[in-house]
Amino acid sequence: MTEVPQFAQWAEINQTDKFTCIEPLSGFRRMLREDEGYRIYLEPGASERAIGEAVLDVLKRSRVVSPIDEREFFEADRIMRNYRAWHEDFMKRYRYKTKRDAYKNMRYCKVERSDGKISIKPHKRDFKPGLWWDLPPERTVVIPETNDPGIVGAAAALALSHCEFASITFPPKSPAAR
């Protein structure tokens, strides 16, 4: 059984050619969005320092949530409502017409601050929008805990560069499907 560190904070970073979105996650073993929907959107080409400032800001908002004391936080309806709200927000804000377009070049990293370090774990995008696979541990960027936004932003940029995209290939349509 894996224990959650006494002090742990989490965030996620989603990045496309139109934006970088950084938002806090909270939870216990499962990290989830908060109801308030706080997120920071940065323009393409944001500096490493700006990314680092955003990561440090959202990490402060993350919290460990007891599954015993706050059961409602882990309810499926709440989780899906918050996922849909985030999805609708960025799709509308950046005028994506389809999920396929939105996720086509999206990168995703999960950030954890605990035990005196900050770990930024890149993921591989599945061919289905919104599905992600863990990459090998050696792809994770780990730095000593710091409040220097330049260092945190450089680590985030490096981790984002480690993200991978699944090749999207669709079989030809059968004559009956045309």
Q: Under a CB-based contact definition with an 8 Å cutoff, are residues 111 and 79 in contact? A: no
The model's pTM: 0.85
Task: Give how far the C-alpha of residue 31 lies from the chain's centroid of Cα atoms, to the nearest Å.
Answer: 10
Please report the domains of the chain, with CATH numbers, ordered by start residue: 8-168 (3.40.1590.10)
Query: Between the CA of residue 22 and those of 37, 59, 141, what are the distances in Å?
Result: 11, 10, 17
- The number of CA neighbours under 13 Å toward the Cβ of 159 is 33
Per the structure block, which two tokens stand in for 117? 């370090």
Residue 111: the pLDDT is 97
- 69 contacts: CB under 8 Å, gap ≥ 6: none
Task: Give how far the C-alpha of residue 158 lies from the chain's centroid of Cα atoms, to the nearest Å.
Answer: 15
Per the structure block, which two tokens stand in for 159? 């981790």
Residue 43: the pLDDT is 95
- Of residues 90, 169, 96, 95, the one with CA closest to residue 128: 169
CA–CA dist 16, 22 (Å, integer):
12
* Residue-level pLDDT, tens digit, the chain, 178 residues: 455 556 799 999 999 999 999 999 999 888 999 988 899 999 989 999 999 999 999 999 999 998 889 999 999 999 999 989 998 999 999 999 988 888 888 999 999 999 999 999 999 987 666 678 889 999 999 999 999 999 999 999 999 999 987 765 545 555 554 4
